[in-house]
Amino acid sequence: METVVSGIRPTGNLHLGNYFGAMQNFVKMQSEYNSFFFIADYHSLTTHPTPEDLHGNVKKVLVEYLACGIDPEKATLYIQSDLPETAELYLLLNMNAYMGELERVTTFKEKAKKQPQNVNAGLLTYPSLMAADIIIHKANKVPVGKDQEQHLEMTRTFARRFNRMYKVQFFPEPEAFNFGATLVKIPGLDGSGKMGKSEGEGNAIFLADEPNVIKKKVMRAVSDAGPTVPNSIKPEPIENLFSLLRVMSTADTVEYFEAKYNSCEIRYGDLKKQLVEDIVKFTEPLRERIKELSSDDKYLGKVAAMGAEKAHDSGAKNIKDVREIIGFRKF
């Protein structure tokens, strides 16, 4: 059976981008693969959260994994720092990770620009920690959104380099996976780029958002005065609204608004109202589950403990083999 690994950084509630870029596939894959889904709390330290925020965010993501339908009996659902062997593999991979290749990673360059006062070594070596997460379970497939594609290329490079260096076929070269389709990128509501937690107020819709909040955000989404020439190409903010509609609404609805756009009769207020209705319908049951689970610390504790044990069974065994291969041997 093939192995699948993926993770989410705990930096707040999950948004529609996380859901449709990754989580949806975690849920689909959990029955057919040897699955490991984790909360990347080591990774989130690059932005220096307080202990309270860190703990609170880990809980939020754990709750939301469960609310979205991850079954902790089927998949191994764990917290990254509960598998400290990941940190050991990270150290080992860093010995063969080069400044040049790490500095060239797009997310590093973006982060360094965004937070010039905090360009720490964790940011630079983010791809080796991510590779450690993945190959510690000898994963074959990694369900992620489009923004993680380059990190997966680095993971393959590190796995290949290890195998070549020690003349072994130990680590598979894992691929970013979306059931054969291209990786997903869900746009934000601010007219540019992608939906993301740190992209500014109103850009992201969170799974836990109340209907009135969803309405406010969508109705304020960037649009324009509408096309004046039939069948014109959509400017980016409008294409983004349609992308969201394609994910959230029925094919008939999309077709209806496409036709209205093409004949220059579109009213963005109508499109947005439809979008609000469909997002609220989709998130309603999740929101209910999130509320229930958030007050059940005992159950969450049980899930985390079970995940830690199962993750350890897999990770500790592989690290033992890695140590042996590298030459850390007993006398």
Element (H, E) at 98: none
Rounded Cα distance between 9 and 80, Å, is 10
Distances (CA, A) of 40 to 98, 132, 140: 23, 12, 19
Q: Is residue 211 close enough to count as binding ligand TYM by CB under 6 A?
A: no
* Contact (CB, 8 A) for 137 and 321: no
Q: Which of 74, 197, 260, 310 is catalytic?
A: 197
* Catalytic (active site) residue 74: no
Residue from 67, 184, 222, 293 that binds ligand TYM (CB under 6 A)? 184
Contact between 6 and ligand TYM (CB under 6 A)? yes
111, 141, 217, 272: which one is catalytic?
111
Stretch that binds ligand TYM, among 145-153, 227-235, 302-310, 314-322 (CB under 6 A): 145-153
Question: Distance (Å, rounded) from C-alpha 219 to C-alpha 284?
Answer: 19
Angle 213-215-216 from CA coordinates, rounded to 5°: 65
Nearer to ligand TYM by Cβ, of 111 and 215: the residue is: 111
Write out the binding residues for ligand TYM, residues 8-67 only, by CB under 6 A.
8-9, 17-18, 21-22, 40, 43
Closer to ligand TYM at the Cβ: 145 or 191?
145
Is residue 315 a contact point for ligand TYM (CB under 6 A)? no
Q: 317, 134 in Cβ contact below 8 A?
A: no
Nearest CA among 161, 131, 139, 92 for reference residue 311: 139
Strand segments (E) across the chain: 3-8, 34-39, 76-79, 141-142, 175-176
User: Which amino acid does the sequence have at 228?
Assistant: T
Whole-number minimum distance, CB 203 to ligand TYM, in Å?
10
Asked if 93 and 128 touch (Cβ cutoff 8 Å), the reply is yes
Q: Could you say which of 134, 159, 214, 276 contacts ligand TYM (CB under 6 A)?
A: 134
Stretch binding ligand TYM (CB under 6 A), from 63-71, 143-151, 249-257, 297-305: 143-151
Q: Is 278 in the site for ligand TYM (CB under 6 A)?
A: no
Name the minimum Å distance from CB 228 to ligand TYM.
Answer: 31
Which residues of the chain form contacts with ligand TYM (CB under 6 A)? 5-9, 17-18, 21-22, 40, 43, 130, 133-134, 142, 144-145, 147-148, 151, 184-186, 194-196
Catalytic site positions = 111, 194, 197
